[in-house]
Amino acid sequence: MHSFSIQEINTILSGELIGDTSKKITGLNQLKNATPNQITFIGSKKHTSHWKDSKACAAIVSENIKVEAKENQAVIKVKCADLAMAKLLGVFSPEPPVFEIEIHPTAVIHETATISKGAQIGANSYIGKNVNIAEGVIVYPNVSIFDDSEIGANTTIWSGTVIRERSIIGAHCIFHNNVSIGADGFGYRPSEDGRGLVKIPHIGNVVIGNYVEVGANSCIDRGKFSSTILGDGCKIDNLVQIGHNCVLGRCCIMAGSSGLAGSVTLGDGVIIGGSASINDHTTIHAGAKVGAGSGVVSDVPAGKTVLGYPACDSRDMLKQWVALRRLVHK
């Protein structure tokens, strides 16, 4: 287990140390749950009152919050306690599973694939024809990557994930378990006799930027003619559906179980709440937010927050909900 003095922690965070503690710090935890060898954090004024009862040996505090050091319980002032906490969580992270062999002998790798120096391929994984794996990539066991795909430097791919042919994946991405990238889009036409359905082939692919994270069991389908695209820094939670030909800008967030039908466009920084769904061919402009559980059926202007089903301006929807309750309780 890692262990640090309060001075070492202060140096890591470039903070201002007030008071002192003789305790060795072995972890971090919330104000109420922290034990004497853990450090805690206070990022909001409403939590300051819990500091006096906290057993933590130290607290990381945002600079605009007033909190005093106690006996043998120090305070570290930082610009933003939340960011400092994220940094410390990294410091206290256990090591991820290690590979004792860079390329496991049970992995099946096509002779035309390129595995860069320092990339690691886990047991029983499959790497197809002409796949290009950049340096620092980690492919955990039981992953399948198909022909002509490219995986950028330092990207991590967890077990069960399948990356279909011709996918282009950026650097520093994380794909959690059982993700599906690049399956056929969902498109059919009634057959000429009207009695069946004709499958529309999808000959496009998926293109994913840098620093993108895709949660467990999420799906991103390939485009019909061209590409389904996720911009740099997009963060996708578990069980999310992204249909064919969707285009996501930079740093979009999609929470768990949400979904985009085909050809949806998200501007930069769009946030989609959990279980929300967006109709096909809809555009949600930069910085807009869609509330959890909403169903969006028309375009959303930049910066706007929408809510409900069918989704409209969030304040308006809250008023509608109040009005509906009043019909019953008047």
Catalytic positions:
244
CA 324 to chain centroid: 36
Question: Which of 23, 47, 77, 176 touches its own copies (CB under 8 A)?
Answer: 176
Q: Counting contacts by CB under 8 A, is residue 37 touching its own copies?
A: no
Question: Which of 286, 295, 299, 304 touches its own copies (CB under 8 A)?
Answer: 295
Cis, peptide link before residue 301, omega less than 30° from 0: no
Q: Counting contacts by CB under 8 A, is residue 225 touching its own copies?
A: yes
Percentages of the chain per state (helix, strand, coil), in multiples of 5: 15, 30, 55
Stretch that binds its own copies, among 6-14, 18-26, 59-67, 213-221 (CB under 8 A): 213-221
Alpha-carbon distance of 93 to 226, in angstroms, equals: 40
Q: Interaction with its own copies in 130-169: which residues (CB under 8 A)?
A: 140-142, 144, 146-147, 158-160, 162, 164-166
For residue 322, how many other CB atoms are within 10 A of its CB?
9
Q: Counting contacts by CB under 8 A, is residue 248 touching its own copies?
A: no
Question: Which of 70, 293, 301, 304 touches its own copies (CB under 8 A)?
Answer: 293
Angle among Cα 81, 87, 89 to the nearest 5 degrees reads 100
Question: Which of 12, 186, 287, 299 touches its own copies (CB under 8 A)?
Answer: 186
In 3D space, the residue among 7, 9, 16 whose CA is nearest the CA of residue 67 turns out to be 16
Residues 6 or more apart whose CB falls under 8 angstroms from that of 267 comprise 249, 283, 284, 285, 286, 287, 288, 302
Contact between 182 and 206 (Cβ < 8 Å): yes
Q: Smallest distance, Å, CB 319 to its own copies?
A: 5
Stretch that binds its own copies, among 16-24, 48-56, 68-76, 89-97 (CB under 8 A): 89-97
Contact between 320 and 307 (Cβ < 8 Å): no
Judged by CB under 8 A, how many residues of this single chain contact its own copies?
108
Q: Cα-atom radius of gyration of the chain, to the nearest Å? A: 24
Considering the complex, state which of residue 68 and residue 310 has its C-beta at the smaller distance from its own copies: 310
Considering the complex, state which of residue 5 and residue 177 has its C-beta at the smaller distance from its own copies: 177
Q: Counting contacts by CB under 8 A, is residue 224 touching its own copies?
A: yes
**Residues in contact with its own copies, shown as a per-residue x/- string from 93 to 132 under the rule CB under 8 A:** xx-xxx-----x-x-x-------------xxx-x-xx---
Q: Counting contacts by CB under 8 A, is residue 52 touching its own copies?
A: no
Q: Interaction with its own copies in 253-282: which residues (CB under 8 A)?
A: 253, 255-257, 259, 261, 274-275, 277, 279
Q: Counting contacts by CB under 8 A, is residue 249 touching its own copies?
A: no
Stretch that binds its own copies, among 5-13, 18-26, 46-54, 85-93 (CB under 8 A): 85-93
Q: Counting contacts by CB under 8 A, is residue 323 touching its own copies?
A: yes
What sign for the dihedral angle of Cα 101, 104, 105, 109? negative
Alpha-carbon distance of 155 to 173, in angstroms, equals: 5
In 3D space, the residue among 78, 1, 83, 80 whose CA is nearest the CA of residue 37 turns out to be 1
Q: Counting contacts by CB under 8 A, is residue 12 touching its own copies?
A: no
